[in-house]
Chain A
């Protein structure tokens, strides 16, 4: 049996629909239900809904063999997992953004507001820029607007929120999309089953 951690919400439901269409459906599944665990009668697969940011946790701790998580969540968690497929959903990018008139003062650390401190720290370490991180949990765009940060590191989908707050992208860090991840130990012992699931899922990706 393969244990699959799905992210709660629209994306998770979309991925479940894909899995169901390639033979991994569950009669126990009910759309909108609050039930967190459901399995198929044939014992081929077991699903559970978890908070999107927790998917890598369930996979690295072995509660789930595979899971579906955004690239942002995977990178921020630093989880030691295999990334078996890009599911091509939830596409956006991780960017550094600032006010349109921003000029970097290299004589002091750059103040970076973000929900993703690890991604931000790794990126600025790579480019050799000293930073101070301001960890926020939402409305990151307010950082430069209210002057508590010089730049932000955040996910940009359409760019509308940035535009409405007079911010602009100054650097793209990476492309983000939804990935099928797998625990390294789980892959060692369930490789054949997981490879079949992965191949079928890849066949469904448009």
Chain B
């Protein structure tokens, strides 16, 4: 079969088709999910979710919630599966903002649950890069490692509360408040130096790894550095950036965010979330990412697609209008049949004149 021309689709729909093809080419299975789950699933794992509440309702005496996150549903529905599962999805999530507003976000992503080794991690990064490349040729992937941050925090003897505060400075590259924090928290010497290094890590992989190796002389992070090296593989589009942070209870290894030039926020987000899988009763590793589809048309600069021609008809000439419209369509035009001209119509307007026989 010849390649299908996708020009008639908008950039979001096109991305959706191309990404399905990409994920299928890696042998991932398409996974459909229910639109809602019992609210307790989300209530018990609130800090895994992005900010905002789930939208709840009751049915049959049960408190249910419209799905605010896909990953949790995938893990929950995979509990009975045997072996390593590689799936992709194309779903909407629903969230309530702080101001009470309700939002719907289209997501597409992949999840691997089971025996997640180095090869699977590399494959996931490769797929994340392939996903971004499908959308634009100007993209970057920021990569960090929850294990390194954890061990450096332990070396600096940060309490859990101080660790939480430190990760806020790390996520914002906020060095000035960090300096006040280390004084206040009584962290000094090598511990403070390493915590600071993660905030100001240079962007080039070579320089960043050299900084991490310096830390490895004092903290046992050799294995984590090698994991990052395997994933980054010297690729120009990957930068080490420890401002990518997540909840300690859920994320255990690599974490990443993908940016596309022109998009105001991260277009893709993912990581290794063994903690969540284990919390949901799976003795398995887990890694995955999600791409936020809904924003694509905005930064891709899509123009609204409308008909090329409007054929205006009345109660006396419907058949004539059908004939005219069919003729125009056979010339490859998109034709709208209507009794009155649409407002702000930019295309050609053709009137069906006379009366039907």
Contact = CB atoms under 8 A, between A and B. Distances in A.
B243 A118 contact: no
Interface residues of B, number: 23
A85 B176 contact: yes
Interface stretch (B63-71, B106-114, B257-265, B283-291): B257-265
A62 B263 contact: yes
Contacts, number: 51
Nearest to A177: B176
Interface in A168-206: 175, 179, 183-186, 188-189, 191
Given A60-B264, A61-B264, A184-B266, A83 B51 contact: no
Given A82-B243, A175-B180, A191-B203, A185 B172 contact: no
B173 A83 contact: yes
Contacts of A186: 264
Contacts of B243: 82, 184
A184 B174 contact: no
A5 B51 CA distance: 26
Contacts of B260: 185
Contact of A188 (B142, B174, B176, B180): B142
A185 B266 contact: yes
Contacts of B323: none
B263 A185 contact: yes
B249 interface: no
A contacts with B: majority SS = mixed
Identify the interface centre among A62, A78, A175: most chain B CB within 10 Å of its CB.
A62
Nearest to B165: A126
A80 interface: yes
A85 B175 CA distance: 8
A198 to B, nearest CB: 10
A83 B174 contact: yes
A86 interface: yes
Contacts of B173: 82-84
Nearest to A81: B172
A60 B265 contact: yes
B52 to A, nearest CB: 11
Given A184-B243, A184-B265, A185-B265, A82 B174 contact: yes
Interface residues of A, number: 21
A83 B265 contact: no
Contacts of A179: 176
A79 to B, nearest CB: 9
A175 B98 CA distance: 25
A185 B243 CA distance: 12
Contacts of A185: 259-261, 263-266
Contacts of B257: 184
Interface string A72-95: 000000101111111000000000
B264 A62 contact: yes
A83 B172 contact: yes
Contacts of B172: 81-83
A169 B276 CA distance: 42
A173 to B, nearest CB: 13
Interface in B242-286: 243, 257, 259-266
Interface string B197-234: 00000010000000000000000000000000000000
Given A80-B265, A83-B174, A189 B51 contact: no
A78 B50 CA distance: 12
A194 B68 CA distance: 35
Contacts of B176: 83, 85-86, 179
Interface in A49-84: 60-62, 78, 80-84
B177 interface: yes
A85 B177 CA distance: 9
A96 to B, nearest CB: 18
Contact of A189 (B174, B180, B259, B266): B259
Given A80-B265, A83-B174, 14 more contacts: A60-B264, A62-B265, A78-B98, A83-B172, A83-B176, A85-B176, A175-B180, A179-B176, A183-B264, A184-B243, A184-B265, A185-B259, A185-B266, A188-B142
21 contacts: A60-B264, A60-B265, A62-B265, A80-B265, A82-B173, A82-B174, A83-B172, A83-B177, A84-B173, A85-B176, A86-B177, A175-B180, A179-B176, A183-B264, A185-B261, A185-B263, A185-B264, A185-B266, A188-B142, A189-B140, A191-B203
Task: Report the 6 A-B pairs with minimum CB-CB distance, sorted nearest first.
Answer: A62-B264, A86-B176, A83-B174, A188-B259, A82-B173, A83-B172
